[in-house]
Chain A
Amino acid sequence: MPREGILVNNPYERLNTQQIERIHQASLEILRDPGLICFNEKAADIFAASGADVSAAASGDPPHWLIKIPEFLVLEALENAPKTVTLGARNPDNALVMHGEDPRVYFVSGSETNVWLDVDFQTYTKKSDSTVEIRVPEFIPRRGTVADLCKSAHVCEHLETLDGFIRNVNIQDRDITEENKDVNKFFASLNNTTKHVQAGLTSLNQLDNVVNMARLIAGGEEELIKNPIISFITCLVKSPLQFVDDTTETFIEICRKGLPVVVSSSPQAGSSAPIKEAGILALINAEVLAGITLGQLVNRGTPVIYGSVPVRTRMDTLSDSYGAIETSQYNVDCVQLARFYKIPNYSTSGVCDSKTPGQQSSIERLFSDILVTLSGPQYLHCAYGLLDCNSVFCLLQAVLDDAHFQMMKFFLKPPRIDETEINDVLTQIRKVVQTPQKLFISYIRKVMRTGEISPPYPFEGDGETDDVFALAYDRMNELIAKPVNHIDREITSRIFNEIPGLLPRLNTYAEGR
């Protein structure tokens, strides 16, 4: 049985049918004119062989091609792309089954952050009264390591609401190179969580090693296709409208292997995309459709996910502003577009501009988490623990995020109003009005223990001081202390014998470790 996720009844929609149709037509028009600039020869050849209008640029270094994609290619691709995509897991009960038309949301972590934020608590004494002390968290940034990624995957395994694991730490140990990064980040993740693992690929020549490792864990080549315990994210189109050479090459090879892949585009409204909502939508949709079309031309029926990460520009620095209200609007719009095509959607929420956990971080992430969740994306990268626009990861924040996703999951439970329920409450009301106290309290007791009543906020302190960070920190340490469900000894041994580049210290069973 796959994970349940949370089904959003009557998902929130911003666009009406005519607006969606108009964006769709505008995207098709963009793909025809101006088309895309392609820096990858293989992709240019594939498009040319399939009937697209491909012309080599007269001058250009590096060499590139102009690709004008006709409507029929896009529509065929949309027809051929699977409407249901399964993301497997080491524990099959953690698999995610995503239907493009079904607004069932899975919450997943991400993205790859360079900075790991440690937390320490300092005690301060009140100047005017030395008996009064408060504990205040201090956040200490440092470069992320493979040990951090292991710890993060392990804690995410135990976060109740988290359905899948997108690697969230960029491993920057001294012995990590471009040539061994991919195998180590996938192994560190897979060895510490039994949930689905997704990541981008740093180097195409590591693809075979990563896939072979996954085959060993899944039990073979066919087993991996049936239970794809790993999947990939590729940003093959750089906004505006450019097929990037290396990621396009990577994308083509992943599609050839038939493994699930997110076709992700991340235009920035105001800089790499128009600031107007209609503009960024038409553009991002064109870019994702171009990627999906290429994927289906490479391998008809290969599982692709509509990946939308639109963001608005900050006016003061021209960098990303994930905390901007428009960013949530764009994301909600894209959920609708993906549903229009019946292709599962990778959406984004919870990324904030704030640099440390605190009030700004809570407000920004909750705002987008609630709104985007209500729109019903199938695969929501909801930024557990992420801060500072995806560049910082803090485990304490991830634990705090889990608490607010629990609230959302509770809120989205379907209402229970049926004959039995109505008859029960009518009986209650009649009984209670006859009692002297007229209190319904005695009827709370049973439901209190069946999960029908929402629990209090888990990090509420006893006194008047705000103890949220301290209590969440205790919870984080409880989770860290939980046992890790590692890959078994035999498979681990085969992985370390057959897959080159793995750091020996990651071998759970190595002597003297």
Chain B
Amino acid sequence: MSEEIIAVLKENVIQGRMTQDDEGIDDSLTGPGVEELTQMALDENIPAKEIIADGLTAGMEIVGDKFNAKEYYIPDMLASAEAVSAAMDILKPLLEDADIKSKGKFAIVTVKGDIHDIGKNIVAILLKGAGYDVEDLGIDVPTEKIVDYVRENKPEYLGLSALLTTTMLVMGEVIEELKTAGLRDTVKVLIGGAAVSDEFAREIGADAYCSDGFQAVKVLDSFQA
């Protein structure tokens, strides 16, 4: 029974079905989605570690393979990541007892003056699906609020997003303010958005530039090593 639930859970991750109402990619899969199956697995006393390793992570690995093989597109990847992230929310209270550590706390924000958030939201979904504890601080967020957040919550990673050439300069201000507050060494700062580049990241003293969400996952994973 438990093996069967985990197998169906994995298949639902591959199909990106978060709940029973989701259609997935084709009509072959119906019934409970990742959220319901995760709860069912817990009800069957399947350990959280097993749910994550054999269901969620195993499913995401196949999704990654399909994406690399150009069989899956970004929307497929996002749907699966979103489903995994919903499952992680259910499992979160059990993770500490199960001795499963998050890959780290990642705060993401669109800087002051900019309201664009499609890219930011996609990065958040992908990182959450990849096992990071993601906190989305929103859009048009004042620099002092970002600095306060870092001081109080001590995230390991901070992602700054900006679309506009006018607001990209705010990213540099955030880094300067973190330095002034003595917090710069406590957090790795990643930047992304249409207007910025690797060169700009170096100019303002960011730790990395990420061209998209997939690169963000790769960069953060490289920090883990």
Q: Mark A430-450, 1 if CB is under 8 A from B, else 0.
A: 000000111101101110110
* Chain B positions 24-43 with a Cβ under 8 Å from a chain A Cβ: 24-26
* Chain B positions 71-96 with a Cβ under 8 Å from a chain A Cβ: 73-76, 78-79, 82
Provided the pairs A437-B125, A438-B121, A439-B118 are in contact, do residues A446 and B79 lie with their beta carbons within 8 angstroms? no
Q: Is B193 an interface residue (CB 8 A)?
A: no
Q: Is B121 touching A442 in the complex (CB atoms < 8 A)?
A: no
**Extra contacts besides A441-B122, A442-B22 (14): CB < 8 Å:** A436-B121, A437-B121, A437-B124, A437-B125, A439-B118, A439-B122, A441-B75, A441-B78, A441-B79, A442-B18, A442-B79, A445-B16, A446-B23, A446-B25
Residues of B at the A interface (CB closer than 8 Å) are: 16, 18, 22-26, 73-76, 78-79, 82, 118, 121-122, 124-125, 136
Q: Is A442 touching B136 in the complex (CB atoms < 8 A)?
A: no
Q: List 21 A-B contacts (CB under 8 A).
A: A437-B124, A438-B121, A439-B78, A439-B118, A439-B121, A439-B122, A441-B74, A441-B75, A441-B78, A442-B16, A442-B22, A442-B75, A442-B79, A445-B16, A445-B24, A445-B25, A445-B75, A445-B76, A448-B73, A449-B25, A449-B26
A136–B75 Cα gap in the complex (Å)? 35
When distances are taken between beta carbons in the complex, the residues of chain A under 8 Å from B82 are: 442
Query: Interface on chain B toward A: helix, strand, loop, or mixed SS?
Result: helix
- Of chain B, the residue at the smallest CB distance from A441 is B75
When distances are taken between beta carbons in the complex, the residues of chain A under 8 Å from B125 are: 437
When distances are taken between beta carbons in the complex, the residues of chain B under 8 Å from A445 are: 16, 23-25, 75-76, 79
Cβ-closest 7 pairs across A and B:
A437-B121, A444-B75, A441-B75, A445-B75, A442-B79, A441-B78, A446-B23
Query: Interface on chain A toward B: helix, strand, loop, or mixed SS?
Result: helix
B137 to chain A, nearest CB (A): 12
Residues of A at the B interface (CB closer than 8 Å) are: 436-439, 441-442, 444-446, 448-449
Q: Among the interface residues A438, A441, A444, which one has the most CB atoms of the partner chain B within 10 A?
A: A441
When distances are taken between beta carbons in the complex, the residues of chain B under 8 Å from A448 are: 73, 75
When distances are taken between beta carbons in the complex, the residues of chain A under 8 Å from B16 are: 442, 445
- Of chain A, the residue at the smallest CB distance from B78 is A441
A227 to chain B, nearest CB (A): 39
When distances are taken between beta carbons in the complex, the residues of chain B under 8 Å from A446 are: 23, 25
When distances are taken between beta carbons in the complex, the residues of chain A under 8 Å from B73 are: 448
A441–B16 Cα gap in the complex (Å)? 12
When distances are taken between beta carbons in the complex, the residues of chain A under 8 Å from B26 are: 449
B82 to chain A, nearest CB (A): 7
A286–B76 Cα gap in the complex (Å)? 59
A448–B16 Cα gap in the complex (Å)? 14
